[in-house]
Amino acid sequence: MPLHRHRSGTSRRSGTSRRSRLTVGGTLLAALTLLLTLPGAATAAGPDTADAPPARGTARMGQGVIEHDGQGGLPRDPRVVQTEGVDVSSHQGNVAWQTLWNSGVKWAYVKATEGTYYKNPYFAQQYNGSYNVGMIRGAYHFATPNTASGAAQANYFVDNGGGWSRDGRTLPGVLDIEWNPYGAQCYGLSQAAMVNWIRDFTTTYRARTGRDAVIYTATSWWKDCTGNNASFGAVNPLWVARYNTTVGELPAGWPVHTMWQYTSTGPTVGDHNRFNGALDRVQALANG
């Protein structure tokens, strides 16, 4: 019997000890949970990855539109004929081109390069796949004016998919010049320096291909980072980004737009666009 009482006492003490440890553990967990909900807790616990810049090479057309310009409704029924198109990058991976073609998409632009350091690994599937289903297609370059000159980036673009041929199905290359996803929105350049950089790119692209590059931009960015420079409108077709019911104000120098990126939430591929004219006008741009 004494032995029995001894075991019983030990058991009671062990149970009490375990309960104490569980109580302490629960208290610590509750305290930690409270700490993480306090303002600034994420900073104290470590860097906030949500605010970290994206990886180099991952920038895509229109990435900053919603953040900087907001988003409204879809376009109203157009008063003139327009032709549906899409733009794609590595974010879309292998694209269902036949599905897009069947939905009425007739032209496409594919990201080829960024800076002088990145080539889209899905470029062949996207560029050739769109062509193979019957689309008129072209390539675009995401500019990073703080990493290399305009001429260097134009040459890199042409050498890695951004060229042009008079086959009636290849559109001229696009300079995607917009908010910097990796840092200061104007890439640390003055307005005059940005204009010179863009001219360096477009002049080099013209010399290499015989075509004037299309300029893709947003009006608010163009105002902030070029001072609303009006010197490109007479030569370079405009592709304007605005996610709203109308195309809105255009950058200085362009009386009309050629293309309009109007949403990033399309059903098959997010980024959808309208060419300002019927399909024969898309073909005319391809033919030069």
- Output the DSSP codes for 159-172: HTT----SSSSBPP
3-state secondary structure of 80: coil
Per-residue pLDDT at 2: 42
Please report, to the nearest 10 degrees, the dihedral formed by the alpha carbons of residues 193, 196, 197, 199 taken in order.
160
Domain boundaries, the chain: 2-45, 65-287
- For residue 91, the tally of other CB atoms under 10 A from its CB is 15
Which is catalytic among the residues 87, 114, 212, 271? 87
How confident is the model at residue 35, as a pLDDT?
A: 36
Q: Token pair for residue 199?
A: 């001219």
CB-based contacts of 128, cutoff 8 Å, min separation 6: none
DSSP 237-260: PEEEE--SSS--PPPTT-SS-SEE
283, with CB counted inside 10 A (0-12, 13-18, 19+), is middle
List Cβ neighbours of 103 (8 Å cut-off, separation of 6 or more). Answer: 84, 267, 268
Known catalytic residue at 176: yes
Per-residue pLDDT of 261-281, as tens digits, reads: 999 999 999 899 999 999 999
- What is the predicted pLDDT for the residue at 54? 85
Q: Which of 120, 107, 138 is nearest to 214 (CA)?
A: 138
Residue 66 confidence (pLDDT): 66
pLDDT digits over 3-53, tens only?
444 444 444 444 444 444 444 444 444 444 433 333 333 333 333 344 678
Q: Which pLDDT score is estimated for 202?
A: 98
Strand partners, 238: 215
Do 266 and 86 form a contact (C-beta atoms < 8 A)?
yes
**How much is the average pLDDT of 212-222?**
98
Q: What is the pTM of this model?
A: 0.77
Predicted confidence (pLDDT) per residue in 56-93, tens digit:
887 777 667 667 666 666 676 665 799 999 999 999 99
CATH of domain 65-287: 3.20.20.80
User: Looking at residue 11, what is its pLDDT?
Assistant: 43
Contact between 247 and 240 (Cβ < 8 Å) = yes
* Spatial separation of the C-alpha atoms in residues 204 and 158, rounded to whole Å: 10
The average pLDDT across 195-203 equals: 98
Q: What tokens appear for 218 in the block?
A: 């947003």
C-alpha distance from residue 246 to each of 70, 75, 80, 126, 220 (Å): 13, 6, 13, 29, 15
Cα dist from 104 to 85, 125, 151, whole Å: 8, 20, 36
**pLDDT mean across residues, the chain:** 85
Q: Which residue has the higher pLDDT, 118 or 20?
A: 118
pLDDT of residue 128: 98
Mapped onto helix, strand or coil, the DSSP state of residue 111 is: strand
Selecting among 114, 178, 212, 271, the annotated active-site residue is 178
Higher per-residue pLDDT: 13 or 96: 96
Q: Is residue 133 within 8 Å of residue 169, measured between CB atoms?
A: no
Predicted local distance difference test score (pLDDT) of residue 63? 67
Choose among 163, 267, 250: nearest CA to 207.
163
Which one from 69, 176, 212, 271 is the annotated catalytic residue? Answer: 176
What share of the chain has pLDDT > 90, as a percent? 72
- Helices 150-159 and 191-209: crossing angle in degrees, nearest 10, is 30
Enter the tokens of residue 39.
């303002």
Judge whether 87 counts as a catalytic residue: yes
Residue 287, CA atoms < 13 Å, CB-side half-sphere: 7
d(CA 56, CA 84) in angstroms, rounded, equals 30
